[in-house]
Amino acid sequence: MTYDDKLAARIRRILPPAAGVAELHMFGGLAFLLDGRMLCGVVNRDLMVRVGPGGYETALAQPHARPMDFTGWPLTGFIFVGPAGSRTDAAVAAWLGRAYQFVSTLPAKWPRPRRPRPRPPRTRARAVRR
């Protein structure tokens, strides 16, 4: 997986220390989650930010921001910020503030209980007579 390690380290420094913040490798990069909900991430050299449907158009109007599209279809509520838009810690902090503001309004996503997998029936090894 390729992503900008320096940008990821800056995000770690800027995010408030909270018990609900976790990191997860996804989208070919690194995602940061708050209470199980994706907050932001790093894909290649881009900062990925979750701004929500309400803040989507406003965020796209900012310099260096573009729609997040992995498959050719933009995902509403998520944007990419190019390297020039995340050059300083203040710029990254501003984008993370937008993401934190939106994601903190969502209910926590609790882990789903795992269903036990059905096991195949045990069979005894039979002696083969020749």
The span from the CA of 124 to the CA of 35, in Å, is 46
Q: Model's pTM, two decimal places?
A: 0.79
Of 53, 45, 95, the closest CA to residue 75 belongs to 53
Residue 68: per-residue pLDDT: 92
CATH architecture of 5-103: Alpha-Beta Complex (3.90)
Residue, of 17 and 103, whose pLDDT is higher: 103
Mean pLDDT over all residues of the chain?
A: 87
DSSP string, 38-66: EEEEEEBTEEEEE-HHHHHHHHHTSTTEE
